[in-house]
Structure 1
Amino acid sequence: MTTFQLYLDDSGSRYPDHEPEPARADGMDSFALGGLLIDKADRKLALERYDAFVSSWGIDYPLHSTKIRGRRDKFRWLGQDAVRAERFYRELGELLVALPVTGIACVIDRPGYNSRYAEKYGDKRWLMCKTAYAILIERSLKFATAAGANLEVFFEEAGKHEDRAVAAYHKSLKDDGMPFDQGNSSGYSGLKPDKFRDGVLGDPQRVTKKGSPLIQIADLYLYPMVKAGYQDGYPPFDQLFAARRVIDAQLPEADRQSLGIKYSCFDLIQKGERPGG
Structure 2
Amino acid sequence: MPRPYTLYMDETGNRHPDKKADESRRGRDWFGFGGFLIRGEDNDHLRDAVAAFADKWKLRHPLHITDMISEKKGFSWLERAKQSTRDEFWQGWREVLCSAPVIGIGCVIDRPGYVARGYLEDYNDKWLLCRSAFDIAVERAAKIARLEDRKLHVVFEQDPAVNEIVTGYFRNLKENGLAFDENNSGKYQPLSQAQFAETLGRIQHKPKSHPLLQVADSFIYAMSRHAYDRKFWIHRSLRDRKKLADFALPDEHLPQLGVKYYCFD
Aligned Cα RMSD in Å?
1.7
* Deviation per residue, 1:29-53 (Å, 9 max, x gap): 1111011111110111111211211
Partner of 1:273: none
TM-score (norm. length: structure 2)? 0.93
Deviation at 1:196, TM superposition (A): 1.3
SS at match of 1:42: helix
Q: Residue 186 and residue 16 in structure 1: after superposition, are their counterparts in 2 closer, same or farther (change >3 A)?
A: same
Partner of 1:239: 237
Partner of 2:43: 43
Range with greater deviation from structure 2 (36-45 or 56-65): 56-65
Question: Could you tell me whether the CA contact under 8 Å between 1:108 and 1:132 is conserved in 2?
Answer: yes
Partner of 1:89: 90
Q: How many residues align?
A: 263
Partner of 1:272: none
Q: Return the alpha-carbon distance in structure 2 between the equivalents of residues 71 and 224 of structure 1.
A: 17
Deviation at 1:186, TM superposition (A): 4.9
Partner of 2:12: 11
Partner of 2:175: 175
Q: Return the alpha-carbon distance in structure 2 between the equivalents of residues 66 and 206 of structure 1.
A: 21
Q: Return the alpha-carbon distance in structure 2 between the equivalents of residues 136 and 163 of structure 1.
A: 17
Partner of 2:221: 223
* Deviation per residue, 1:174-229 (Å, 9 max, x gap): 11111111133353442111111111113x1010122x100011001111110111
Partner of 1:275: none
Partner of 2:154: 153
Q: Return the alpha-carbon distance in structure 1 between the equivalents of residues 201 and 186 of structure 2.
A: 30
SS at match of 1:209: coil
Partner of 2:250: 252
- What code does the residue aligned with 1:261 have? V
Partner of 1:193: 193
**Identity level (%):** 34
Deviation at 1:112, TM superposition (A): 0.8
Question: Could you tell me whether the CA contact under 8 Å between 2:188 and 2:255 is conserved in 1?
Answer: no
Q: Which residues of structure 2 form unaligned runs of 5+? A: none
Q: Residue 15 and residue 120 in structure 1: after superposition, are their counterparts in 2 closer, same or farther (change >3 A)?
A: closer
Q: Which residues of structure 1 form unaligned runs of 5+? A: 268-277
Q: Residue 119 and residue 173 in structure 1: after superposition, are their counterparts in 2 closer, same or farther (change >3 A)?
A: closer
Deviation at 1:126, TM superposition (A): 4.8
Does 2:130 align with 1:132? no
- What code does the residue aligned with 2:154 have? V
Deviation at 1:123, TM superposition (A): 2.6
Question: Could you tell me whether the CA contact under 8 Å between 1:8 and 1:155 is conserved in 2?
Answer: yes
TM-score (norm. length: structure 1)? 0.89
Question: Could you tell me whether the CA contact under 8 Å between 2:32 and 2:109 is conserved in 1?
Answer: yes
Q: Return the alpha-carbon distance in structure 1 between the equivalents of residues 181 and 214 of structure 2.
A: 35
Matches within 5 A, 1:15-164: 15-25=16-26, 27-83=27-83, 84-118=85-119, 121=122, 123-124=124-125, 126-160=127-161, 162-164=162-164
Q: Return the alpha-carbon distance in structure 2 between the equivalents of residues 144 and 119 of structure 1.
A: 32
Give the 4+ runs in structure 1 shifted more than 6 A.
none
* Deviation per residue, 1:42-87 (Å, 9 max, x gap): 1111112112111111113311111101100111001111322222
